[in-house]
Chains A and B, each alone.
Chain A
Amino acid sequence: MIAAKERTKAAAGAADPMRPELYRVQRSRRESSDTFTLELTPPRGYKPTPFQPGQFNMLYMPGVGECAISISGDPADDGVLLHTTRVVGTVTRALNGCKAGSRVGIRGPYGAPWPVAEAEGNDVVFVAGGIGLAPLRPAIFHVLAHRRQYGRIVLLYGARTPEDILFKPMLRKWSSRLDMDVYVTVDRAEAGWRGNVGVVTNLIKRAPFDRLNTTAFICGPEIMMHYTVLEILGRGVNEKGIYVSLERNMKCATGFCGHCQMGPFFVCKDGPVFRYDKVKRWMEIREL
C-alpha cells in the first residue's frame, strides 16, 4: 500500500529538484490535430528517477519557458519517457516544434500518483475526458500488467470528435482484450462514425462495476470531472474510492512558490491526484 506520506515523498524527484536534465527527443508523434507525444531519452550515464502513474515532469524549452506535463508512458518502461500534451501556450507550441535530436530540459517526476496499490482487489474504473487520457494511461498500463490483482477494469473515454481520440491503436488493443471493458464516446460526429455520440458521463450508468468495491480514477477538464463524480456517486460508489487529477498553474513543482495553491493544498506537491473527499470542498469554490 502506498501511504499518503510515501506518495508525497515521491514528489521529491531528483537530488536537486530545480535542476533540469537535458533529454534528447527520440521522436515526436502526432496524436491529433493539436496533440502530440514526445518520446524522450535521458542523457548518457544519467539514471532517471522512476515515475509512478499520474506523476508529471517539468519540461523546459531554453529561451521559452517551462511547463508541467503529465507522463503518459508505461511506468515499467525505464528506457523512454513519454509526454503527451496539447498545444495550448508558448512552451507547448515550442515543444510541438521539436524534431528528433532536439533537446528538452526535464526535471521531475513530481506529484502524488494514482493510488494503484490501494485499488488492488477492487474493480477499477478509469474515466478520461479529452487529453485526460494521457495522465491515466500509465495507471492503465500498471493495472493491466498486474491484472490478477484487480477486479473488472473499465475505461470510459470521451473526446470532442472522432479525430480528437487519442492513442487509437492502444484503444483498439485494449478493446480487443477479454479482461477489460472499453467504451468510447464523442461529443459530436458526422455521418460515418459508428461509435457512440454523447458526453462521457452518459457511459457511467451502464458501466459494469461493483459499486461496493470500486475505485474510480478520473481525469479531464474540471467541469467534466464534477459531473462524472456526481454520476459515479449516483451509482453508489463511496466518495473515498474516487480520485481526481487536478490542474493548476504549476511553476516550481516543489510546493515553494504557491502558484498552484488550492485551499490548504499545493497541487504540484499534494496532488495532482487527490482523493475526492479531501478536495471536494475546494473544488466547489469558484475561481479557486
Chain B
Amino acid sequence: MTIHDLEPILREHPFFNGMSDEHVRILVGCAKNIRCNEGDFFCRFGKKADEFYIIRNGKVNIEIDIPQQGSMTIQTLEDGDIVGWSWLFPPYKWNFDARALQLTRAISLDADCLRNKCELDHDLGYELMKRFSAMMMERLQATRLQLLDFYAGPAGAKG
C-alpha cells in the first residue's frame, strides 16, 4: 500500500470526518499501513508511546497485567477505533498493553512526526486535540459505567 492509498482511508475515517484536505495530507505524511497477527502487541505498558493506531479491521484488547493474576482486559476496540493517546502527553509512555485479538489491520501514525507538525501548525494541533478529547470523554464515560457494576443490583428479579 502506497502513501497515496492511505489518504482516502484517512479521509473516510469517522475520526477525521470534516478535517481539511490540507490537514489530512499532513497526517498521511506521518502514516503507514501495518498488520498485527492474533496475539501480537500494538504497544506494551511502560514502553515509549511513539505511535498511535487506527484500526481498519480486526479487534484489539486494551489490557493490563496484574502481578499474580495475569492480564485483565479493560476494553475491546474494533474497526474504526483509535488505539492510544499516550503519545500526546509527556512522558510519552504507554499505560496499558494493546493486543490483537485476531488478525488486525491498522494505520500507524508516527508520534514524533505528528507532534512536530502540530507545533508548526496549531490549527492541526487543535483539530487533533478536539477529536482526541471527544474520544477520551467517550472512553471515560464508558469506564465510569463499568465501575458502576450495574448488573450487580436487582433487575428482572423482583423479590
**Interface of A with B (CB < 8 Å)?**
56, 65-70, 84-92, 129-132, 134-135, 158-160, 164, 185, 187-191, 193-199, 201-202, 206, 219-224, 227, 247, 249-250
Report whether A197 and B76 are in contact in the complex, using a CB–CB cutoff of 8 Å.
yes
User: Which single residue of chain A is at the shortest CB-CB distance from B70?
Assistant: A191
Task: Decide yes or no whether B101 CB sits under 8 A from chain A.
Answer: yes
Task: Decide yes or no whether B146 CB sits under 8 A from chain A.
Answer: yes
List, in ascending order, chain B residues with CB within 8 A of A92's CB.
157, 159
Report whether A197 and B73 are in contact in the complex, using a CB–CB cutoff of 8 Å.
yes
6 A-B pairs with CB atoms under 8 Å apart are A67-B159, A92-B159, A187-B151, A188-B73, A197-B75, A199-B145
User: Which single residue of chain A is at the shortest CB-CB distance from B102?
Assistant: A194
Report whether B150 and A202 are in contact in the complex, using a CB–CB cutoff of 8 Å.
no
Report whether A198 and B146 are in contact in the complex, using a CB–CB cutoff of 8 Å.
yes
Contacts known (A190-B70, A202-B142, A206-B78); A221 close to B153, Cβ less than 8 A = yes
Which label, helix, strand, loop or mixed, suits the secondary structure of the A interface?
A: mixed
User: Which single residue of chain A is at the shortest CB-CB distance from B154?
Assistant: A88
The listed residue (B69, B73, B149) touching A189 by CB distance below 8 A is B73
Q: How far is the CB of A247 from chain B (nearest CB, A)?
A: 6
Report whether A193 and B152 are in contact in the complex, using a CB–CB cutoff of 8 Å.
no
User: Which single residue of chain A is at the shortest CB-CB distance from B66?
Assistant: A190
The listed residue (A65, A129, A194, A250) touching B150 by CB distance below 8 A is A129
Cα separation A159 to B155 with both chains bound (whole Å): 12
Q: Which 10 A-B pairs have the closest CB atoms?
A: A67-B159, A130-B151, A131-B156, A160-B151, A68-B158, A197-B73, A85-B157, A196-B76, A221-B150, A88-B154
The listed residue (A68, A89, A130, A199) touching B146 by CB distance below 8 A is A199
User: Which single residue of chain A is at the shortest CB-CB distance from B145?
Assistant: A199
- A-B pairs with beta carbons under 8 A, tally: 118
Contacts known (A130-B151, A187-B151, A206-B78); A66 close to B159, Cβ less than 8 A = yes
Task: Decide yes or no whether B112 CB sits under 8 A from chain A.
Answer: no
Cα separation A250 to B158 with both chains bound (whole Å): 8
**Interface of B with A (CB < 8 Å)?**
59, 61, 69-76, 78-80, 101, 142, 145-146, 148-159
Interface centre among A185, A221, A249, A250 (most CB of B within 10 A): A221
Cα separation A225 to B49 with both chains bound (whole Å): 37
Q: How far is the CB of B78 from chain A (nearest CB, A)?
A: 7
The listed residue (A67, A198, A201, A222) touching B158 by CB distance below 8 A is A67
Report whether A223 and B150 are in contact in the complex, using a CB–CB cutoff of 8 Å.
yes
Q: How far is the CB of B87 from chain A (nearest CB, A)?
A: 22
Report whether A201 and B159 are in contact in the complex, using a CB–CB cutoff of 8 Å.
no
Report whether B151 and A68 are in contact in the complex, using a CB–CB cutoff of 8 Å.
no
List, in ascending order, chain A residues with CB within 8 A of B148's CB.
223
Cα separation A84 to B155 with both chains bound (whole Å): 11
List, in ascending order, chain B residues with CB within 8 A of A190's CB.
69-73
User: Which single residue of chain A is at the shortest CB-CB distance from B156?
Assistant: A131
Cα separation A198 to B138 with both chains bound (whole Å): 12
User: Which single residue of chain A is at the shortest CB-CB distance from B150?
Assistant: A221
Q: How far is the CB of B12 from chain A (nearest CB, A)?
A: 16
Cα separation A264 to B157 with both chains bound (whole Å): 23
List, in ascending order, chain A residues with CB within 8 A of B74's CB.
197
Q: How far is the CB of B36 from chain A (nearest CB, A)?
A: 16
Report whether B158 and A84 are in contact in the complex, using a CB–CB cutoff of 8 Å.
no
Report whether B159 and A198 are in contact in the complex, using a CB–CB cutoff of 8 Å.
no
The listed residue (A65, A70, A185, A222) touching B76 by CB distance below 8 A is A185
Contacts known (A193-B73, A197-B74, A198-B76); A86 close to B154, Cβ less than 8 A = yes
Contacts known (A188-B146, A223-B150, A224-B150); A130 close to B155, Cβ less than 8 A = yes
List, in ascending order, chain B residues with CB within 8 A of A189's CB.
72-73
List, in ascending order, chain B residues with CB within 8 A of A160's CB.
149, 151-152
List, in ascending order, chain A residues with CB within 8 A of B146's CB.
187-188, 198-199
Report whether A194 and B156 are in contact in the complex, using a CB–CB cutoff of 8 Å.
no
The listed residue (A86, A90, A195, A223) touching B156 by CB distance below 8 A is A86
